[in-house]
Amino acid sequence: MPESQHIIELKKLTKYYKGSNEPAIDNINLDIDNGEIYGLLGPNGAGKTTTISILCGLFAPTSGNVFIDGMDYQHSAEKIKNIIGVVPQDIALYPSLTARENLTFFGHMYGLKGKYLKTRINECLELFGLEKNANRRIKTFSGGMKRRINLIAGILHKPKIIYLDEPTVGIDVQSRNVILDHLRNINKEGTTIIYTSHYMEEAENFCSKVAIIDKGNIITEGKPKELIKSKEEYTDLESIFLNITGRALRDE
């Protein structure tokens, strides 16, 4: 177990899917500091989802190591799962259940119970402006409301690390601002956030550090402002992204 201040460490991480000669991720080394809002950016098929899936323990890499808060999945999968929170891009909720029922179920899955869970659910619902809709079924919610509940389900247990996969996709500006503001607040309390997005402007403003991944490799990494300053032709994160990954269309 390495002694490190990094909350996430990827060492020579490589993943080949069965039947494929091309690696989905190729010998990636990455250190993410505690308290960072770290953006994993890249075009479709770049290797972001594979990286996140390995970070969440969904499958093992072909080679290399992953350390989460100094632990690895081989030895401490359950401990790691207790300190991470995942917010998938899909609305991973049960539409026929109310917001409260969904959150109670996911809270129980994280081992929360009783009065603490009830208080925590109320607190989160209030924080995201959904307390009046707690007993409504998810299928009656707007897209933005669903996104907020989707987010709450991943942060209910106050994880040390949150993985956010396109958390603001397909929602209005108001909901987006509410989500990002609250994520900033959560981050200020010490939670590390790993974030993927296709919205470059959002990533530029939201992330403290970003890595641009393409074809399974990290092409560049750094603080958004420093990256923009690094070359004269760079005006914003999007110009860096297009410069590095090219303008050709990508399909997953």
Which stretches of the chain bind other proteins, using CB under 8 A? 17-18, 56-60, 78, 81-82, 84, 86, 88-94, 96-97, 101, 104-106, 108-111, 113, 137, 153-154
In angstroms, the CA 154 to CA 65 distance is: 25
Closest CA to 141 of 184, 171, 162, 110: 171
The answer to whether 31 touches 185, Cβ cutoff 8 Å, is: no
Q: CA 185: distance to chain centroid?
A: 16
Kindly state the smallest distance separating residue 19's Cβ from other proteins, in Å.
Answer: 8
Nearer to other proteins, 86 or 124 (CB): 86
Kindly state the smallest distance separating residue 57's Cβ from other proteins, in Å.
Answer: 7
Strand 217-222 relative to strand 209-214, pairing = antiparallel
Kindly state the smallest distance separating residue 151's Cβ from other proteins, in Å.
Answer: 12
Kindly state the smallest distance separating residue 109's Cβ from other proteins, in Å.
Answer: 5
Straight-line distance from the first to the last Cα atom of the chain, in angstroms, rounded to the nearest whole number: 35
In angstroms, the CA 191 to CA 32 distance is: 12
Nearer to other proteins, 149 or 218 (CB): 149
Kindly state the smallest distance separating residue 159's Cβ from other proteins, in Å.
Answer: 10
Closest CA to 112 of 77, 85, 142: 85
Kindly state the smallest distance separating residue 87's Cβ from other proteins, in Å.
Answer: 8
The answer to whether 26 touches 3, Cβ cutoff 8 Å, is: no
Nearer to other proteins, 70 or 88 (CB): 88
Q: Which residue has the tokens 């323990």?
A: 57
Nearer to other proteins, 142 or 230 (CB): 142
- E-state strands within 82-154: 84-87
Closest CA to 41 of 225, 161, 164: 164
Kindly state the smallest distance separating residue 234's Cβ from other proteins, in Å.
Answer: 35
Nearer to other proteins, 144 or 224 (CB): 144
Nearer to other proteins, 81 or 136 (CB): 81
Nearer to other proteins, 94 or 119 (CB): 94
Opening angle at CA 123, ends 119 and 124, nearest 5: 120
The answer to whether 197 touches 87, Cβ cutoff 8 Å, is: no
